[in-house]
Amino acid sequence: MFPSDSVLRFAPSPNGELHLGHAYSALINHAMARALGGTFLLRHEDIDTARCTPAFERQVEEDLAFLGLSWDEQPRRQSEHMHDYAAALEALAAEDLVYPAFMSRGEIKAHVERFEEEEGRAWPRDPDGAPLYPGLDRHASTKEREKRMSEGARFAWRLDVERAIEMVPALTWEEHGASPIGESGTIVARPLEWGDVVLGRMDIPTSYQLSVVVDDAIQGVTDVVRGRDLFYATSIQRLLQALLGLPQPRYHHHELILGADGRKLSKSARDTSLRSLREAGLTAEDIRRMVGLPGRPGGLGEAAAVRPRGSSARR
Ligand code: GLU
């Protein structure tokens, strides 16, 4: 079903404590990699150097070891590979696909409020609920851009998504898991829903969206297994893969582990952090049971839980 050169990764950001949702994701990534005879990688997504710390990174590794998981190569630390992302950003800039966007968060908010008040209708929002970038500076002249930059104006590099989609054919991906509303199989990417996403900042030549596709390609990731909260982001990631000529992995968006209140777990809620559960005396077996994965590490329970579409396993 999958080639034995399968490469899977667990890619948390070391900016807080891992929780049960991370445990679930790491466990099924690991089980799937082992069941396929493939490779399981750990990647520290630490481009946000202000919030990511070596202490959280160590804790990620301790938590995974506690769960009985081992990874096959030295973990990749994104902060050590900024040149890879800068090169990708430059390749997009060379095609005129990114522009310096000067509107601050406050200015975007004010623009959106004014529009909604004057027009009496809602400003479009991305799948995460954030207003789309108004793009007033999308077509500014080189002279204007240089002037603002030399004045020290703050900006972010944003993708000109409308121009970008003209450069590539209609994009799809193979979904072996499901979207939040149950879509599966061949999914049509809808990158326009995200508007002009940020691909780089003044001080960091990348963003989550850019570095994740660059790294998945560099690391040869064949199967992206992650939570359903990232299902819609796949549209932008497919677009970036196509623009940069990168291979497309298969995707498996798994269900999220929700808190007792039915909401998504957060890194700041200490009660479901793996560390506090570990310190309270719970074992790896207990954690596996709590996330609905009974059985031994790497045992059949998990492989069945992640078996792709078309198989006879219960999903
Ligand atoms: N670093 C991302 C997160 O912690 C996950 C990236 C991915 O799996 O694509 O949410």
35-70: per-residue pLDDT in tens? 999 999 999 999 999 999 999 999 999 999 999 999
The whole-number average pLDDT for the span 75-103 is: 98
Q: Give the distance (Å) from ligand 1 centre to CA of residue 311.
A: 27
Selected from 3.40.50.280, 2.30.110.10, 3.40.50.620, 3.40.50.880, the CATH number assigned to the domain covering 7-102+137-304 reads 3.40.50.620
**3-state SS, residue 66:** helix
Strands 250-254 vs 223-227: parallel, antiparallel or unpaired: parallel
Q: What letter would DSSP give residue 123?
A: P
Taking CB atoms within 8 Å and a gap of at least 24, the contacts of 187-192 are: 187/234, 189/234, 189/235, 189/238, 189/239, 190/235, 191/161, 191/164, 191/165, 191/235, 191/236, 191/238, 191/239, 192/161, 192/162, 192/165
CB 11 within 8 A of CB 212: yes
State whether the beta carbon of 214 lies less than 6 angstroms from ligand 1. Answer: no
CB 35 within 8 A of CB 5: no
State whether the beta carbon of 34 lies less than 6 angstroms from ligand 1. Answer: no
State whether the beta carbon of 226 lies less than 6 angstroms from ligand 1. Answer: yes
Q: Among residues of the chain, what percentage have pLDDT more than 90? A: 86
Q: Give the distance (Å) from ligand 1 centre to CA of residue 29.
A: 13
State whether the beta carbon of 27 lies less than 6 angstroms from ligand 1. Answer: no
d(CA 205, CA 211) in angstroms, rounded, equals: 9
CB 213 within 8 A of CB 219: no
Q: Please give the pLDDT value at position 1.
A: 46
- Render the burial of 261-295: b for 16+ CB within 10 Å, e for the rest: eeeebebebeebbbeebbeeeeebeebbeebebeb
Determine the atom of ligand 1 nearest the C-alpha atom of 212: 9
Residue 299 confidence class, pLDDT cut points 50, 70, 90: very low
Average pLDDT, the chain: 92
More confident residue, 244 or 293: 244
Q: What letter would DSSP give residue 16?
A: S
Q: Please give the pLDDT value at position 297.
A: 53
CA distances from 286 to 66, 148, 185, 239, 292 (A): 12, 56, 33, 40, 10
Q: Please give the pLDDT value at position 27.
A: 97
Nearest CA to ligand 1 atom 4: 12
d(CA 73, CA 8) in angstroms, rounded, equals: 12
State whether the beta carbon of 11 lies less than 6 angstroms from ligand 1. Answer: yes
Q: Please give the pLDDT value at position 308.
A: 41
pLDDT of residue 138 exceeding 70: yes
pTM, full prediction: 0.92
Show the tokens assigned to 122. 């809602």
**3-state SS, residue 224:** strand
State whether the beta carbon of 45 lies less than 6 angstroms from ligand 1. Answer: yes
